[in-house]
Amino acid sequence: MIHIKSIKADELNDIIDLARLIWPVSYAHILTQEQINNMLDRIYSLENLKKEMRSGHIFFIAILDTQKVGYVSAYQEESIVWLKKLYILPTLQGQGIGKQLINVIIKAFPKSQEIRLLVNRDNLHAQQFYLRQHFIKIDEIPVKMGDFNFVDFVFSKKIKPTIT
């Protein structure tokens, strides 16, 4: 059974540890090892994650039994929730953990009307996952990750605000 919990700044090293396990496998067919290392060092530095948290990003971690197996982060911009990070250990993908993490994010931002995210245009595996979750591609934009320039697709899904 999966347990999902929000994490605080003093637990961000768990996110860093998971990213260092997941990224080299998940991006091996898209990025060079140099690019992966550069992005991990910049995006997943403790300082950068704390900065994101201070600016309103919330983080959740998925735990299977006692093993940390995935994470998600998001922030709200007006009525839109931006899903920034969603990663599951490759050996556990396809078991519904990603869907559970998306649902936790939607519940964490109850007044939101839409959830959006960016996906690298070459990351077909992730695109297929988001399409199965009823997201649609709405745009294509240039992005900079670490020291590198890419093109990402913007995916969107309308959500109904919950009344609290």
pLDDT in tens, 3-60: 999 999 999 999 999 999 999 999 999 999 999 999 999 999 999 999 999 999 999 9
pLDDT for residue 164: 54
What residues contact 151, with CB distance under 8 A and at least 6 apart? Answer: 120, 121, 140, 141, 142, 143
DSSP alpha helix (H) spans, 27-96: 33-43, 46-54
Read off φ and ψ for residue 94, nearest 5 degrees.
90, 10
Give per-residue pLDDT as tens, 134-161: 999 999 999 988 788 999 999 999 998 6
- Give dist(CA 9, CA 49) in Å, integer: 8
pLDDT band at 131 (very low <50, low <70, confident <90, very high): very high
